[in-house]
Amino acid sequence: MHSIEALEKQWKRYQIKKYFSFGMVSAALLGMVIAFSLLFDSESYSNSKELSKQKIQTAMIDRSKEQELQIPRVAKQNKNIEKETSSVETVVNNNIRADKPQNTTPILADNQPRKKVEVDLEQTPNMGLITDVILRFYESKDPNDSLFLATSYYEQNDYAKAFYWAIETNRITEDMEDSWIIMAKSKARMGDRNEALRILKAYVAKKDSKEASNLLERMEAKQW
């Protein structure tokens, strides 16, 4: 039975082959499931636009009272920030507040933005996903979710919405670089380059960000 050692080696090769095959099959199945679920989501979105719209409306209505309560609190927080942070940051916050009535922040002004958000979302191509993230954000207040929304809207050239969600992100944390950059870029895209520069300067003063510095330089040189 000197062949037992050889048989053991053969068995080890068989095990590797067996588990490799199993892994391949599992990966293929997982891929199929993901592809199918994405396809299903896309189809279900297109087939149920009205349903999604209603869903958002319902969610917005459900959230309205809560938001009404949040608005004064947020405004108060902004005032505190203005007092406690540097003058540059104050400029940024003031500008943000000043922009709200003009763009996407009527939430703070007159409780009207829900209607506007609803219409805009309906036009976006990934509405199903965005809606889910919006709803999730209202529950979790996760800055990653709001930053995702800001990025998504910016990529869809919806700069007002992008700016809105970047502000939402900054309200939760001011340490997310991408949020500041989207905020500045959105402002610039909307034609307010001076405000964009102020935002970038504020962030560069706060954090030594290479990306923000580069963007600031390019904006100042009118290369962006």
Partner 1 sequence: MKNRFKVAKSAFLDIVDTHEYIEIESANIAMRQLKNAMDKQFKIVLLFGKPGTGKSILLKNIFEQKKYQKEIYFLETPAGNQNEFLGHLSKVFMGEDVSADNTEINFLDLISYFKSIKGGQREIIFLLDEAQMYNMDILEKIRLLADTNNIKFIMALHQNKKEELLTQDHFSSRIWEKIELKNATKAEQATYIYKKLLNKNLFEIASNIQKRNLKLIHKYTKGNYRECNKLMFTIFEIYEYYDKHEFLKMTNINSILNKVIEMAGLKLGYIHA
Task: Catalog residues that contact partner 1 under the rule CB under 8 A.
Answer: 1, 3-4, 7-8, 10-11, 13-14, 17
CA distances from 56 to 62, 77, 214 (A): 10, 28, 39
Taking the CA atoms of the chain, what radius of gyration do you get in angstroms?
24
Q: Which is nearer to partner 1, 14 or 36 (CB)?
A: 14
Least distance to partner 1, CB of residue 35, Å: 32
Handedness of CA 104, 142, 201, 158 (dihedral sign): negative
Least distance to partner 1, CB of residue 26, Å: 20
Q: Which is nearer to partner 1, 15 or 64 (CB)?
A: 15
**CB neighbourhood size of 61 (10 A):** 10
Least distance to partner 1, CB of residue 24, Å: 17
Least distance to partner 1, CB of residue 28, Å: 22
User: What token pair was written down for 85?
Assistant: 């942070």
Cα–Cα distance for residue pair 190/201, rounded to 1 Å? 18
Q: Which is nearer to partner 1, 5 or 50 (CB)?
A: 5
- The overall longest dimension of the chain from CA atoms, in Å, is 88
Q: Which is nearer to partner 1, 18 or 76 (CB)?
A: 18
Of the candidates 177, 146, 144, 141, the residue with the CA atom closest to the CA atom of residue 161: 146
- Sort residue 191 into left (φ over 0), alpha (ψ -120 to 50) or beta: left
Least distance to partner 1, CB of residue 1, Å: 4
Q: Which is nearer to partner 1, 18 or 136 (CB)?
A: 18
CB distance 63 to 138 below 8 Å: yes
